[in-house]
Amino acid sequence: MSSTTTPSPAPATRGRGFRLARGLTLANIATQAGIIVTGGAVRLTGSGLGCSTWPQCEPGSFTPVEFDASSLHPFIEFGNRLLTFVLLVVAVAMAVAVWRTRRELRWWGLVPALGVVGQAVLGGITVLVDLHPLVVAPHMLLSLVLVWYSVWFALRFRDARGRVGGTIAVERWASLGLLAVLMVLGALTTGAGPHSGDANATERLALDPALIARAHAMAVWAFVALLAWIGWRIRRDHSAGDRDESLRSWWVLVAVTMAQGLIGYVQYFTGLPELVVGLHLLGAGALTAAHSAMFRLTKRDGAAA
Protein backbone atom coordinates (compact mmCIF):
# COMPACT_ATOMS: atom_id res chain seq x y z
CA MET A 1 0.00 0.00 0.00
CA SER A 2 1.46 3.35 -0.96
CA SER A 3 1.02 6.37 1.18
CA THR A 4 1.13 10.02 0.28
CA THR A 5 1.86 12.96 2.42
CA THR A 6 0.75 16.51 1.95
CA PRO A 7 3.76 18.72 1.40
CA SER A 8 4.22 21.44 3.95
CA PRO A 9 4.06 25.04 2.75
CA ALA A 10 7.29 26.43 1.41
CA PRO A 11 9.11 28.55 3.95
CA ALA A 12 9.03 32.27 3.51
CA THR A 13 11.94 33.74 1.60
CA ARG A 14 14.63 34.71 4.06
CA GLY A 15 15.68 37.77 2.13
CA ARG A 16 16.29 41.34 3.17
CA GLY A 17 12.57 42.09 3.46
CA PHE A 18 12.05 39.11 5.74
CA ARG A 19 14.97 40.09 7.97
CA LEU A 20 13.63 43.64 8.21
CA ALA A 21 10.17 42.39 9.12
CA ARG A 22 11.58 40.05 11.74
CA GLY A 23 13.62 42.89 13.23
CA LEU A 24 10.46 44.98 13.42
CA THR A 25 8.63 42.19 15.25
CA LEU A 26 11.39 42.34 17.88
CA ALA A 27 11.30 46.16 17.98
CA ASN A 28 7.54 45.93 18.50
CA ILE A 29 8.09 43.71 21.55
CA ALA A 30 10.63 46.17 22.98
CA THR A 31 8.40 49.22 22.53
CA GLN A 32 5.29 47.44 23.82
CA ALA A 33 7.24 46.53 26.96
CA GLY A 34 8.79 50.01 27.14
CA ILE A 35 5.41 51.72 27.44
CA ILE A 36 4.78 49.66 30.59
CA VAL A 37 7.98 51.03 32.11
CA THR A 38 7.25 54.66 31.21
CA GLY A 39 3.63 54.28 32.32
CA GLY A 40 4.92 52.96 35.63
CA ALA A 41 7.21 55.98 35.92
CA VAL A 42 4.22 58.26 35.40
CA ARG A 43 2.30 56.53 38.17
CA LEU A 44 5.17 56.22 40.65
CA THR A 45 6.26 59.85 40.31
CA GLY A 46 2.68 61.10 40.77
CA SER A 47 2.63 62.52 37.22
CA GLY A 48 -0.61 60.96 36.03
CA LEU A 49 -2.34 64.33 35.78
CA GLY A 50 0.81 66.23 34.77
CA CYS A 51 -1.16 66.92 31.61
CA SER A 52 -4.63 67.94 32.75
CA THR A 53 -6.54 67.00 29.60
CA TRP A 54 -6.42 64.85 26.47
CA PRO A 55 -5.55 64.77 23.58
CA GLN A 56 -4.02 68.13 24.42
CA CYS A 57 -1.67 68.38 27.39
CA GLU A 58 -3.22 71.63 28.61
CA PRO A 59 -6.21 73.50 27.14
CA GLY A 60 -4.93 75.16 23.97
CA SER A 61 -1.55 73.37 23.97
CA PHE A 62 -0.42 69.87 23.02
CA THR A 63 2.86 70.34 24.89
CA PRO A 64 3.50 71.06 28.59
CA VAL A 65 2.94 74.67 29.65
CA GLU A 66 5.40 76.37 31.98
CA PHE A 67 3.85 77.75 35.16
CA ASP A 68 5.48 79.68 37.98
CA ALA A 69 5.44 76.57 40.16
CA SER A 70 6.16 74.18 37.30
CA SER A 71 7.44 70.70 38.11
CA LEU A 72 8.62 67.71 36.14
CA HIS A 73 5.20 66.03 36.25
CA PRO A 74 3.91 67.49 32.94
CA PHE A 75 7.09 66.50 31.12
CA ILE A 76 7.04 62.94 32.50
CA GLU A 77 3.43 62.49 31.41
CA PHE A 78 4.12 64.15 28.05
CA GLY A 79 7.13 61.87 27.49
CA ASN A 80 4.93 58.84 28.02
CA ARG A 81 2.49 60.18 25.45
CA LEU A 82 5.30 60.74 22.95
CA LEU A 83 6.43 57.12 23.35
CA THR A 84 2.93 56.06 22.33
CA PHE A 85 3.53 57.68 18.93
CA VAL A 86 6.87 55.88 18.61
CA LEU A 87 5.09 52.64 19.48
CA LEU A 88 2.46 53.31 16.83
CA VAL A 89 5.10 54.01 14.16
CA VAL A 90 6.90 50.74 14.95
CA ALA A 91 3.65 48.75 14.98
CA VAL A 92 2.52 50.21 11.64
CA ALA A 93 5.95 49.62 10.07
CA MET A 94 5.85 46.01 11.27
CA ALA A 95 2.36 45.54 9.84
CA VAL A 96 3.48 46.84 6.45
CA ALA A 97 6.61 44.66 6.44
CA VAL A 98 4.62 41.57 7.40
CA TRP A 99 2.03 42.35 4.72
CA ARG A 100 4.80 42.33 2.10
CA THR A 101 6.69 39.23 3.29
CA ARG A 102 4.14 36.91 4.92
CA ARG A 103 0.78 37.67 3.37
CA GLU A 104 -0.83 34.72 5.15
CA LEU A 105 -0.13 36.61 8.40
CA ARG A 106 -1.08 40.07 7.16
CA TRP A 107 -4.22 40.42 9.29
CA TRP A 108 -2.45 39.12 12.40
CA GLY A 109 0.23 41.76 11.87
CA LEU A 110 -2.32 44.56 12.17
CA VAL A 111 -3.32 43.65 15.73
CA PRO A 112 -0.49 45.53 17.58
CA ALA A 113 -1.20 48.76 15.68
CA LEU A 114 -4.91 48.55 16.43
CA GLY A 115 -4.07 47.78 20.04
CA VAL A 116 -1.89 50.88 20.31
CA VAL A 117 -4.74 53.05 19.01
CA GLY A 118 -7.07 51.51 21.57
CA GLN A 119 -4.44 52.00 24.25
CA ALA A 120 -4.08 55.69 23.40
CA VAL A 121 -7.84 56.22 23.64
CA LEU A 122 -8.02 54.34 26.93
CA GLY A 123 -5.09 56.37 28.25
CA GLY A 124 -6.94 59.56 27.37
CA ILE A 125 -10.01 58.35 29.22
CA THR A 126 -7.91 57.72 32.35
CA VAL A 127 -6.91 61.38 32.35
CA LEU A 128 -10.46 62.61 31.73
CA VAL A 129 -11.79 60.55 34.68
CA ASP A 130 -8.96 61.75 36.97
CA LEU A 131 -7.15 58.40 37.07
CA HIS A 132 -10.04 56.34 38.35
CA PRO A 133 -8.48 52.97 39.27
CA LEU A 134 -11.19 51.01 37.43
CA VAL A 135 -9.94 52.64 34.21
CA VAL A 136 -6.24 52.68 35.05
CA ALA A 137 -6.21 48.91 35.65
CA PRO A 138 -7.51 48.01 32.15
CA HIS A 139 -5.01 50.50 30.70
CA MET A 140 -2.17 48.49 32.27
CA LEU A 141 -3.71 45.12 31.43
CA LEU A 142 -4.09 46.04 27.75
CA SER A 143 -0.35 46.76 27.60
CA LEU A 144 0.37 43.32 29.03
CA VAL A 145 -1.96 41.70 26.50
CA LEU A 146 -0.13 43.48 23.67
CA VAL A 147 3.25 42.32 25.02
CA TRP A 148 1.99 38.72 25.17
CA TYR A 149 0.59 38.90 21.66
CA SER A 150 3.72 40.57 20.25
CA VAL A 151 5.99 37.77 21.50
CA TRP A 152 3.57 35.11 20.24
CA PHE A 153 3.39 36.79 16.84
CA ALA A 154 7.17 37.20 16.55
CA LEU A 155 7.63 33.46 17.13
CA ARG A 156 4.90 32.60 14.67
CA PHE A 157 6.44 34.92 12.09
CA ARG A 158 9.76 33.08 12.21
CA ASP A 159 7.98 29.69 12.17
CA ALA A 160 9.28 28.67 15.58
CA ARG A 161 8.87 24.91 15.98
CA GLY A 162 7.01 23.43 18.90
CA ARG A 163 7.37 20.17 20.82
CA VAL A 164 7.50 16.74 19.24
CA GLY A 165 6.22 14.75 22.22
CA GLY A 166 2.77 14.29 23.67
CA THR A 167 0.36 17.17 23.91
CA ILE A 168 0.11 19.33 27.04
CA ALA A 169 -2.67 21.52 25.67
CA VAL A 170 -4.69 21.49 28.90
CA GLU A 171 -1.70 22.61 30.97
CA ARG A 172 -0.76 25.32 28.46
CA TRP A 173 -4.23 26.85 28.45
CA ALA A 174 -4.56 26.50 32.22
CA SER A 175 -1.30 28.43 32.63
CA LEU A 176 -2.66 31.19 30.39
CA GLY A 177 -5.80 31.38 32.49
CA LEU A 178 -3.80 31.57 35.71
CA LEU A 179 -1.56 34.25 34.19
CA ALA A 180 -4.65 36.33 33.41
CA VAL A 181 -5.96 35.87 36.95
CA LEU A 182 -2.73 36.86 38.66
CA MET A 183 -2.29 39.90 36.40
CA VAL A 184 -5.83 41.11 37.11
CA LEU A 185 -5.31 40.58 40.84
CA GLY A 186 -2.00 42.43 40.59
CA ALA A 187 -3.72 45.39 38.93
CA LEU A 188 -6.42 45.38 41.62
CA THR A 189 -3.72 45.25 44.32
CA THR A 190 -2.12 48.34 42.82
CA GLY A 191 -5.52 50.03 42.58
CA ALA A 192 -6.05 49.47 46.30
CA GLY A 193 -2.55 50.68 47.22
CA PRO A 194 -0.93 54.07 47.71
CA HIS A 195 0.40 54.71 44.18
CA SER A 196 -2.49 56.54 42.56
CA GLY A 197 -0.57 58.13 39.72
CA ASP A 198 -1.04 61.70 40.89
CA ALA A 199 0.02 63.44 44.09
CA ASN A 200 -3.48 64.89 44.60
CA ALA A 201 -5.51 61.88 43.45
CA THR A 202 -6.52 59.92 46.52
CA GLU A 203 -9.39 57.75 45.25
CA ARG A 204 -8.53 54.08 45.67
CA LEU A 205 -10.44 50.87 45.14
CA ALA A 206 -12.57 49.95 48.14
CA LEU A 207 -10.58 46.77 48.74
CA ASP A 208 -8.48 45.61 51.66
CA PRO A 209 -4.92 45.97 50.27
CA ALA A 210 -3.58 43.16 52.47
CA LEU A 211 -6.39 40.78 51.51
CA ILE A 212 -6.13 41.40 47.77
CA ALA A 213 -2.34 41.10 47.98
CA ARG A 214 -2.70 37.67 49.60
CA ALA A 215 -5.13 36.59 46.87
CA HIS A 216 -2.59 37.73 44.30
CA ALA A 217 0.16 35.74 46.05
CA MET A 218 -2.03 32.61 46.11
CA ALA A 219 -2.58 32.91 42.36
CA VAL A 220 1.18 33.20 41.87
CA TRP A 221 1.83 30.04 43.90
CA ALA A 222 -0.80 28.16 41.89
CA PHE A 223 0.97 29.35 38.75
CA VAL A 224 4.31 28.10 40.13
CA ALA A 225 2.80 24.69 40.94
CA LEU A 226 1.43 24.38 37.41
CA LEU A 227 4.81 25.37 35.97
CA ALA A 228 6.44 22.58 37.96
CA TRP A 229 3.98 20.07 36.49
CA ILE A 230 4.56 21.39 32.95
CA GLY A 231 8.31 21.14 33.43
CA TRP A 232 8.00 17.54 34.58
CA ARG A 233 5.90 16.69 31.52
CA ILE A 234 8.45 18.29 29.18
CA ARG A 235 11.55 16.83 30.81
CA ARG A 236 10.33 13.24 30.67
CA ASP A 237 9.91 13.54 26.90
CA HIS A 238 13.29 13.54 25.13
CA SER A 239 12.02 12.90 21.62
CA ALA A 240 12.73 16.45 20.45
CA GLY A 241 16.45 16.20 21.14
CA ASP A 242 18.69 19.23 21.22
CA ARG A 243 16.50 21.28 18.90
CA ASP A 244 13.61 21.43 21.37
CA GLU A 245 13.19 25.06 22.44
CA SER A 246 10.30 24.30 24.76
CA LEU A 247 12.45 23.27 27.72
CA ARG A 248 14.63 26.36 27.41
CA SER A 249 11.56 28.60 27.26
CA TRP A 250 10.22 26.84 30.37
CA TRP A 251 13.43 27.51 32.29
CA VAL A 252 13.32 31.18 31.30
CA LEU A 253 9.73 31.44 32.51
CA VAL A 254 10.61 29.74 35.80
CA ALA A 255 13.52 32.14 36.38
CA VAL A 256 11.42 35.22 35.60
CA THR A 257 8.56 33.96 37.78
CA MET A 258 10.86 33.35 40.76
CA ALA A 259 12.48 36.77 40.39
CA GLN A 260 9.10 38.47 40.07
CA GLY A 261 7.78 36.66 43.13
CA LEU A 262 10.82 37.71 45.15
CA ILE A 263 10.40 41.34 44.12
CA GLY A 264 6.72 41.15 45.02
CA TYR A 265 7.45 39.95 48.54
CA VAL A 266 10.20 42.56 48.98
CA GLN A 267 7.90 45.41 47.96
CA TYR A 268 5.13 44.15 50.24
CA PHE A 269 7.30 43.87 53.35
CA THR A 270 9.20 47.12 52.73
CA GLY A 271 6.15 49.37 52.37
CA LEU A 272 5.97 49.58 48.57
CA PRO A 273 8.99 51.79 47.78
CA GLU A 274 8.72 53.36 44.33
CA LEU A 275 11.89 51.80 42.91
CA VAL A 276 10.92 48.26 43.91
CA VAL A 277 7.36 48.75 42.63
CA GLY A 278 8.85 49.94 39.33
CA LEU A 279 10.95 46.77 39.12
CA HIS A 280 7.80 44.75 39.78
CA LEU A 281 6.04 46.48 36.88
CA LEU A 282 9.01 45.71 34.64
CA GLY A 283 8.86 42.13 35.89
CA ALA A 284 5.18 41.91 34.95
CA GLY A 285 6.09 42.70 31.36
CA ALA A 286 8.96 40.20 31.40
CA LEU A 287 6.75 37.50 32.93
CA THR A 288 4.08 38.07 30.30
CA ALA A 289 6.64 37.86 27.49
CA ALA A 290 8.27 34.73 28.91
CA HIS A 291 4.91 33.01 29.27
CA SER A 292 3.98 33.84 25.70
CA ALA A 293 7.21 32.24 24.45
CA MET A 294 6.63 29.14 26.57
CA PHE A 295 3.00 28.92 25.44
CA ARG A 296 3.99 29.07 21.75
CA LEU A 297 7.02 26.77 21.97
CA THR A 298 5.33 24.06 24.03
CA LYS A 299 2.60 23.63 21.46
CA ARG A 300 2.85 20.21 19.86
CA ASP A 301 4.49 20.37 16.45
CA GLY A 302 2.36 17.82 14.63
CA ALA A 303 4.31 18.10 11.36
CA ALA A 304 7.63 17.36 13.07
CA ALA A 305 6.12 14.54 15.10
Q: Are 56 and 49 in contact (CB under 8 A)?
A: no
pLDDT for the residue numbered 305: 44
Domain that holds residue 131: 13-159
Please tell me whether residues 213 and 252 are part of one structural domain: yes
Q: Is residue 8 part of a domain?
A: no
Considering 135, 159, 183, which residue would you say is the last residue of a domain?
A: 159
CATH number of the domain to which 201 belongs: 1.20.120
How far is CA 71 from each of CA 39, 50, 131, rounded to the nearest angstrom?
Answer: 18, 9, 19
Q: How many domains does the chain have?
A: 2
Rounded-to-integer distance, Cα 26 and Cα 111, Å: 15
In whole angstroms, how far apart are CA 106 and each of 19, 110, 121, 289? 16, 7, 24, 22
Same domain assignment for residues 233 and 268: yes
Q: What is the pLDDT along the chain (305 residues), one digit of tens a residue?
A: 444 444 444 444 478 889 999 999 999 999 999 998 888 888 777 777 777 787 778 887 878 776 545 577 778 888 888 888 999 999 999 999 999 999 899 999 999 999 999 988 888 888 888 777 788 888 889 999 999 999 999 999 988 877 766 778 899 999 999 999 999 998 888 877 666 655 565 567 777 788 888 999 999 999 999 999 998 888 776 554 555 678 889 999 999 999 999 999 998 888 888 888 889 989 999 999 999 999 999 887 654 44
Same domain (yes/no): 282, 180: yes
* Same-domain status, 180 and 257: yes
Q: Are residue 20 and residue 121 in the same domain, yes or no?
A: yes
pLDDT at 10: 42
Please tell me whether residues 151 and 205 are part of one structural domain.
no
Final residue belonging to a domain, choices 159, 178, 200: 159
Domain boundary residue, one of 123, 144, 159: 159
